[in-house]
A and B are shown apart, each in its own frame.
Chain A
């Protein structure tokens, strides 16, 4: 086709037809479900819930696994749809999987601090899993900010953790790679928390994330034009959109400390971070650590993740490079065959 006005006119006219078909398809899609792998609520601490995933057969691992997700967005991306579910893949590999659901903070929660989340909620969930399974130590699988929290937790409570797996976890915040790290250094987070009256809206975070790749929305929707008649593709697209739009608000006290102490002052790596009454020393990480990072991660660049090995106390430290982006690590096609087997095998060798 030639790039001339009359041919473009035809193309645009065809686009309008596609939009009309899209209206029809969208009206057929009544409900979009994500995170449908069956699980049971086993423990609750205020708004925080601990789930245990249902298994058809007995787990083949002695040590249960506790998944600690970030406070930003929800864990449901790990179980987006039946054929793209990291959790389902872990279950099929034979693991006994628990997961912390942080819930949706309200104004009542504005004073929840990093200490509350790490030495409070995570510790209570870890103790529950240990008691229920009659084990002294459990495994932690952690994602992004959940990974940072888990590193801090494991450094403070190393006697309770057998193996630690971190995924796309920021550790060294001194870098200027990636707009998130660059912009965070200039921001007045006290004004942000005060301006939102102590509860930072999820929508504010989402807008910020969107600006990191300013043209992404046009790439996505332009590609979507050709899928508007395909109910399956459209439903898959809507699943991801559902997860993206479900962004819980952030407790101001925890948010403020995380952004100031970590993003701006990089205290974790420097050994200056105090959580509650305890100083965090990453050298106390004496358990095996598997550190997974994504090569094309624009949210947590590899330079923020890979330095972990220089600070841990354990000699059993492995770093694993996954080709893809921050989310692609979990939901991409390759991930379904690669990630869970890698993690499962690593844990098996250390069970």
Chain B
């Protein structure tokens, strides 16, 4: 693990140094512009920056190469792939950085002597470097994830994951608000400009990251499809009922042809246009079927279909509320930045901005969570998801009931019996102890009385 730390430290320190030297060079360039020496200084400044960047990057590749090679020869197979991937990713990043530097050199050496042009070129450099740094950091983040498995216990691993997730959110927010900050720096600020920069699809991802429990992927679509197929098969089989019901089935078949076809896609088309519950839809047909285990199972499947569909609808409604609240947050954040710019409040950091963003989120989402609409929806979503779960478990029980296995419902009966027996025993023990105590007290009195008479 120490080896991983050294490699990481080297990589991260490299990133830090490259950024620091870029910032330092920028400041020197701006100073040079102020003093009117920008033209003479440019080449010198660039040359110094180029030399220091290449020195830093060469140091990275040489150091990590020797350490990675050492580890690749080790017997710890778990770390082999990890280091190999890390090395290859970093090589790729270094290659891109070198290409970038070469392009920049060409740009600088070919550009005109105009100060404005030079300044604009430098600004473009930041943009390009930012993109490069982003992809470099993202590649590092993937390796951070795999490093999670190597902590001494789950608690430490969970903490690291939390910190890492927060850092990922930092990066996403920075990415999203980049145009805002650029406008801030260029004094090109207005709330309208801010609003026009708002990218809903990007912010949607931030909302999903923040409230991941409401956006978990589930296999309900698979469940709905498999349930629908079983129901379809059941009704298709029912066509061979006795003659007196044939008329009804013919009428039913003509009204709902898709239910009796072999085409599951068409079968599902029935549901997309149906606004009443599936239970009500199938009720007339089910009345004709005799009460068998199979019918019970089909009724359960239909109920599951109903609940799964309702669940999907309700969950989508909750997600919609979360997205629209996210939009309100983004608007308030934009106004907040605009106010800061207006008041020329420039002394802030991204950490401060992040804390303000968190507070604004807290305010809006706490308000949303306290509404009757959200409370009801949340309760409904929870109930439906648990009812689907219960139904699936019942279905599973009916499938295995012919096997020599004890099922949940039977175990529950046993647990109830054990609980009741324990309670009865305890009550009896108390009675016995009380009786013993009374008996002892009576015996003592009798002994005393006997002694007294003697």
Interface residues of chain A, those whose CB is within 8 Å of chain B, are 1-17, 19-20, 22-24, 26-27, 29-32, 107-108, 110-112, 116, 120, 179, 182-183, 185-188, 191-192, 194-198, 207, 211-215, 217-222, 224-225, 228, 234, 237-238, 241-242, 245
Contacts and interface: CB of A to CB of B under 8 A. Distances in A.
20 contacts: A2-B348, A5-B182, A9-B19, A10-B19, A12-B171, A16-B167, A17-B13, A20-B12, A27-B152, A29-B156, A30-B152, A107-B415, A111-B416, A186-B376, A187-B379, A195-B387, A197-B408, A198-B415, A221-B163, A222-B355
B155 A13 contact: no
Contacts of A15: 167, 170
B137 A16 contact: yes
B358 A183 contact: no
A1 B159 contact: no
B58 interface: no
A19 B147 CA distance: 12
* Candidate in B153, B171, B213, B376 with the most chain A CB atoms within 10 angstroms: B153
Contacts of B423: 116
A238 B23 contact: no
Contact of A9 (B133, B160, B393): B133
Contacts of B166: 218, 221-222, 224-225
A187 B382 contact: yes
B119 to A, nearest CB: 14
B370 A182 contact: yes
Nearest to B420: A111
A119 to B, nearest CB: 10
A234 B162 CA distance: 13
A214 B130 CA distance: 31
Nearest to A112: B419
Interface in B192-239: 210-211, 213
Given A5-B126, A9-B130, A111 B415 contact: yes
Contacts of B358: 215, 218-219, 222
Given A5-B126, A14-B16, A228 B174 contact: no
Contacts of B155: 32, 238, 241-242, 245
B182 A26 contact: no
Contacts of A186: 375-376, 378-379
Interface string B7-29: 01100110110011011001000
Q: Chain A interface mostly helix, strand, loop or mixed?
A: helix
Contact of A20 (B8, B165, B412): B8
Nearest to B1: A27
B30 to A, nearest CB: 11
B415 A110 contact: yes
Given A1-B349, A238-B156, A214 B211 contact: yes
B342 interface: no
Nearest to A234: B159
Given A186-B376, A195-B390, A245-B155, A214 B369 contact: yes
A179 B375 CA distance: 9
A116 B160 CA distance: 41
B321 to A, nearest CB: 13
A183 B20 CA distance: 50
A14 B19 CA distance: 10
Contacts of A24: 5
B163 A228 contact: yes
B350 A3 contact: yes
A108 to B, nearest CB: 6
Given A12-B171, A108-B415, A112-B419, A222 B159 contact: no
Nearest to A25: B156
Nearest to B140: A16
B185 A238 contact: no
B262 interface: no
* Candidate in B165, B181, B393 with the most chain A CB atoms within 10 angstroms: B181
Given A17-B16, A30-B152, A1 B348 contact: yes
Interface stretch (B109-117, B242-250, B282-290, B360-368): B360-368
B128 to A, nearest CB: 12
A279 B129 CA distance: 73
B379 A26 contact: no
A179 B46 CA distance: 58
B418 interface: yes
Nearest to B408: A197
A183 B378 contact: yes
A6 B16 contact: no
Given A110-B415, A186-B375, A238-B159, A218 B19 contact: no
Contacts of B23: 6-7, 10
A26 B148 CA distance: 11
